[in-house]
Amino acid sequence: MNSLTLTAKAVRVGLFAAATSSIAFSGIAIAEEQSDKVERIEVTGSRIKQVDMETSSPVTVLSAADIALTGEKTVADVLNNSSINAFGSWRGTSGYGSGASATSTVNMRGLGSQATLVLLDGRRMPGTSSSSGAEADTSQIPLAIVERIEILRDGASAVYGSDAVAGVINIITKKEFDGFQVDFSTEQPSVEGGDANRFSIAAGFNSEKGNVTFTYEYYDTKAVMDRDIWNMDDPSYGDYSSFSSVPNGYYNTGEKDADGDDIYAFYSNSEMCADTDNVADTTDGQNNGRCLYSYGAVTKLFGDMTRNSFMTNFNYDITDNIRFRGRGTASLSETNTRYAGTPVSTNYPVMSADNQYNPTGKDMTLYMRSVQIGERDTLTETNSFDILGGFVGYADVGNGIDWELNAQHSASTTNAFNYNLINDNIIQSEIDTGNYDVFNTSGMSYAEWEQQMTALYSAANHTGVYQGKFDSTQIDGLASTMLYEQGDFSLAIVGGLEYEMINFKQTSDPESASGIISGGSGGDDVDAERTRQSAYTEIQMALPANFELSAALRYERYEQEGTLTGAEGQVTNSSTFDAVVPKFGLSWRPVDSLLLRASYGDSFRAPNMGEMFSSQSLSFEKAYDSVWCEANNNSDANYCATGNQHKTWFGGNPNLEAEEGNSLTLGGVWNVTDAWSVELSYYSITYDNKIEAVSASDVIRDEKINGGSDFVTRGPDGKIEYLESGYVNKASLETSGFDFASSYNFETGFGDFNLKLDVTHILDFKEQADAESEKIDYSGTQDYPDWRGNFAAAWYYNDFSAAWTTVYIGSQSGAMWRDLGYDYIIDTPSYFKHNFQVGYTHDWNGTITVGVNNLFDEKAPTWYDYAGYRDVNTNLYDVLGRTFYLRINQKF
């Protein structure tokens, strides 16, 4: 059997079946006769080429037609709507450092994006620098090149290696295109901004010896401002900051309260509040005499983004039994995000009591915001490329040996420029000169005062620079053969080796890293390298009575070394992680139309280099200080707001251990008739030693439970000055649930119809914070919907088509959080988003499609019983409202 026939070209998708969502329903041709041999093809979830596309592992397939029905503009958006992406995925938003504001990831089963392995044509995608290479940016993949997406819904570390804890996303690209094609799409949401345009060209050439394809895509989307999304005019809106463009002073009055404690107070020039943009007026002693700044009035939720993507695939037959294959991809993107003017908060400036412009005669801590020099704009440049070259061959030995030998190099570089940051040291030295009347005690005109403040902030203006670079070089090979084939019994085996060298480095400008710059997130520097060595084998055994048994075993070893900067200076740490992980599968066809299956596998994930070796950096985390606020009856409403940010020092942990997990799936696929198919699967996943960042809320909660904490530093007034946090191995996480899918095709005199439904129901999602804590089941609670689903109805009649799709997210209860004292968290109702499109195929070999997503302009539900800044889970819900789009495709 010639191995050159054993390629994905055996997969042929008919137009009518293309709208289905699972392999069981897709109408894919799974085998064909050639030279009296049954052709075998590659299937996600196994490295053994086989006859049956359905295996013991559940796989969902989204064809190019499925993707088109969603009306979504990027691969990231398509995956975010998947029902197995139960709790939503990260979408880049303003305010996040290390390039994270320009990336999107996928989060299967809610286990975290680092637990989902993303492949491009069966090989690992390059990781992002913002994740230390641990997560792939799914928004970088040009939609024009995607032939289908295969989603493996169980753990697969034994087959694909570390990180495949929750499952695998395999994005299959177009490879045998012949001719020339142009695509254009545009969309406009009902909110201001968010307009998106995509233009792509594809060209391909086939010959007797091979083929080559080339795809280019240009994509751009406009920014969406926070003020156009959140209801800031609602009287209950209260997300304001004490760091105001009209400065506030905080000081010890020298007086004592009834308990003998010092009394602290704020001072501000309240007359200037009402005259200043985005500053809340202070009247009758409200806000404790402060001018409060509405930071959400000027920030971008989603930034402006442009991306140029390139991809080429090529294959060439060197001999009848040896083929050279290659692939090259490149993505160049720029994202412009915006956060509010810099709060001078890394090191609070102090106006001394003897300063000539001090109106209180007491040392005052200043709460300032450098609005006068502009907002914090960030330009993020993300460039990545991936080059693959290899040989695929066949040796006529025994029953024949298929083999591969490949080399791959990937690199991702992120450059971020953070404008209008503030050098704290310069601010302090300028205030100490006594030349700046920051409270306007001298009665200057507003224009004169603002000119003086502009001069002050301009003197301290700083541009923060961040660079991250991740590169990987991999060499791998495999060989497979049919060891035995006789009657109902056969035994196939594959074995392979992989070796990968990885380097990761991220640096900030020296000033940011030294902790003297406000407004940025510098300091989380990493300089590390790792090697990965893997050996694996997989067998597949066909047995009488239509049973099939599969087993896989992989040994994987990580050796990594990095420099960690801390209180003791620079220290080089090295660690080794290795594991042997198995996977077993069993399937049975009692009748041709019914497949029953079960699979079990272990998995592990080594800590990434950022989690272990990042130096201590500064961030500002949102948290409710339950210790101070409950003790003081929430007397400072601004400080006790849920959105209040606390200075948090965050660093890597070189003592992390590897994560471990296992997954069990049980289920079946039933072709009830030739036109109707049903799938039902049960899954159960255990995830131990899970690595997570300790949140500010966790640190405060532990302080409250333990009566104190070394990780919380409080000022003389008892309020938090700063927190210390990092990565830790949490005890465990357990989740289980059901996946259901069904597809029904039928023909009528007025067109062909395809109906499909996929639903995921989460039975439990139990997390244990540490070994001493009890497990808490979060399923069905706020941000953890226990139901997600999608429905699609497609109609095809001659040159016309139409489709209706519905995205469903189940209701969520806030009762658990209210029982813990968070009375403002409300119950979230069920959410339905309905989409509609129509298409026409004209006589000039092209199509035109028009549609609208979120047809009824369904509003995303909020978290709280009051209006707030970013009070919707944007990773889970679409906040852009009704969106119209147009797509034009022309083939030549």
- Report mean pLDDT in 10-residue bins for the chain, 892 residues: 29 29 31 42 68 74 87 85 84 69 81 86 78 76 84 86 85 85 94 93 92 93 92 85 91 87 86 78 54 90 92 93 94 92 92 94 94 94 92 93 95 92 96 94 91 96 92 95 91 95 90 85 80 94 94 94 66 88 94 94 88 77 84 80 76 86 94 94 92 81 80 88 82 92 93 95 87 83 94 95 96 89 88 96 94 95 88 90 95 90
Q: Residue 28: name the closest of 45, 9, 47 by CA.
A: 9
User: Residues with Cβ < 8 Å from 705, sequence gap 6 or more?
Assistant: none
Q: What SS3 class is residue 160?
A: helix
Question: What are the beta bridge partners of residue 575?
Answer: 560
- For residues 62 and 51, the answer to whether their CB atoms sit within 8 Å is no
**DSSP β-ladder status, 116-120 and 167-173:** parallel
Pairwise CA distance, residues 757 & 60, whole Å? 12
Residue 642 lies in a domain: no
**DSSP β-ladder status, 262-268 and 248-256:** antiparallel
- For residues 27 and 11, the answer to whether their CB atoms sit within 8 Å is no
Residue 172 lies in a domain: yes
Residue 583 lies in a domain: yes
User: Residues with Cβ < 8 Å from 509, sequence gap 6 or more?
Assistant: 463, 464, 465, 466, 522
Question: What are the beta bridge partners of residue 234?
Answer: none
DSSP state of 825: B
Structure confidence at residue 288 (pLDDT): 57
Residue 411 lies in a domain: no
Residue 825 lies in a domain: yes
Q: How far is CA 342 from CA 420, 422, 436, 783, in A?
A: 7, 7, 18, 30
Q: Residue 142: name the closest of 201, 195, 93 by CA.
A: 201
Residue 406 lies in a domain: no
Structure confidence at residue 248 (pLDDT): 92
Half-sphere exposure of 87 (CA within 13 A, CB side): 18
Half-sphere exposure of 421 (CA within 13 A, CB side): 25
Q: Residue 375: name the closest of 298, 294, 275 by CA.
A: 298
Pairwise CA distance, residues 518 & 521, whole Å? 8
Residue type, 379: L
Q: Residue 380: name the closest of 102, 38, 158 by CA.
A: 102
Q: Residue 300: name the closest of 223, 240, 352, 245 by CA.
A: 223
**DSSP β-ladder status, 224-225 and 304-319:** unpaired
Residue 395 lies in a domain: no
**DSSP β-ladder status, 322-339 and 350-351:** unpaired
Tracing tokens 């139901």 back to the chain, one arrives at 787
- For residues 665 and 154, the answer to whether their CB atoms sit within 8 Å is yes
Pairwise CA distance, residues 396 & 394, whole Å? 7
Long-range CB contacts for residues 748-751, cutoff 8 Å, separation at least 24: 750/797, 751/795, 751/796, 751/797, 751/800
Pairwise CA distance, residues 209 & 319, whole Å? 9
pTM of this structure: 0.86
Q: Which domain holds residue 37?
A: 3-229+302-340+525-616+652-690+730-891
Q: What SS3 class is residue 372?
A: helix
Pairwise CA distance, residues 760 & 669, whole Å? 16
- For residues 763 and 736, the answer to whether their CB atoms sit within 8 Å is yes
Q: Into how many domains does the chain fold? A: 1
Q: What are 878's two structure tokens?
A: 């679409």
Q: Residue 558: name the closest of 580, 536, 533 by CA.
A: 533
Residue 664 lies in a domain: yes
**799: domain CATH number?**
2.40.170.20
Structure confidence at residue 754 (pLDDT): 94
Angle made by CA atoms 830, 834, 836, in degrees to the nearest 5: 175
Pairwise CA distance, residues 644 & 626, whole Å? 12
